[in-house]
Amino acid sequence: MAKPALILASQSPRRREILSLTLLHFETMTVETPEVLDPLCSIEENVTRISLEKAEAVSLLLPEKGRNNIILSADTVVAKGKRIYGKPTGFDSAFEILKSLQNRSHRVYTGFVLLYGGKTHTECVITTVEFDPMSDNEIKRYLLSEKPYDKAGAYGIQDPLMACHVRRIEGCYYNVVGLPLSRVCKALKAFL
């Protein structure tokens, strides 16, 4: 029997870059799904549920004979205390998010799902990040140069200007970028 193909259910270029570090061959497929947080559920439950919805939606697009695939999907949010930050709606929203994250720690939650046949693996990985303070002008310069409007928390830890302000990180760096690679690789071993 042929080895299953790996499909990344994401349009994120960062997730593609991270997964390519495994040197595994994979394809990408995307489908629009609502990414609505349920206030009655924990952050961990929300990001894993949203990831599962993405994976299941991609699974439905595959022809019956092409279902011998492993589907990987993920969802990331940033939280400070009880406040959850997804992707900003524009410059003003991004500015307010970054301003609120200054000089304090916040947590990055990435839920990921692997689907293969009747098997499902769900997991949530949490990383703590702390920034040094950024002035209003530094925040504006970052937003104007990087335009991080497609990133949870309005920043990319890997972006040159943002990297200069990371004081501390506890946990998986790749989780903050968008995919907790070591945990994904560990989970993939059971499927491959």
- CB count within 10 Å of CB 147 equals 11
Residue 32 clears pLDDT 90, i.e. is over it? no
Domains and CATH numbers, the chain: 5-191 (3.90.950.10)
Which single residue is written with the structure tokens 């019956």? 64
Active site residue 132: no
Confidence at 2, pLDDT banded by 50, 70, 90: low
Percent of the chain with pLDDT over 70: 96
- Distance, in Å, from the CA atom of 70 to the CA atom of 113, rounded to the nearest integer, reads 10
- The model carries a pTM of 0.93
Q: What is the 3-class SS of the chain, one letter each residue? A: CCCCEEEECCCCHHHHHHHHCCCCCEEECCCCCCCCCCCCCCHHHHHHHHHHHHHHHHHHHCCHHHCCEEEEEEEEEEEECCEEECCCCCHHHHHHHHHHHCCCEEEEEEEEEEEECCEEEEEEEEEEEEECCCCHHHHHHHHHHHCCCCCHHHCCCCCHHHHCCEEEEECCHHHHHCCCHHHHHHHHHHHC
Tell me which of 63-67, 102-106, 134-138 is least confident. Answer: 63-67
Average pLDDT, the chain: 92
114's CB contacts (< 8 A; 6+ apart) are 55, 70, 71, 72, 120, 121, 184, 187, 188, 191
**Which of the following is catalytic: 75, 92, 136, 150?**
75
Distance of alpha carbon 181 from alpha carbon 186, whole angstroms: 9
Q: What percent of the chain has pLDDT over 90?
A: 79
pLDDT score at 89: 93
Q: Name the band, by pLDDT with cuts 50, 70 and 90, for residue 66.
A: low
* Cα distance between residue 172 and residue 126, in whole Å: 8
User: Does residue 82 or residue 159 have the better pLDDT?
Assistant: 159
Mean pLDDT (whole number) for 139-161: 94
In tens, the pLDDT along 86-114 reads 899 999 999 999 999 988 899 999 999 99
Give the model confidence (pLDDT) of 12-27 as tens digits: 999 999 999 999 999 9
pLDDT value for 192: 73
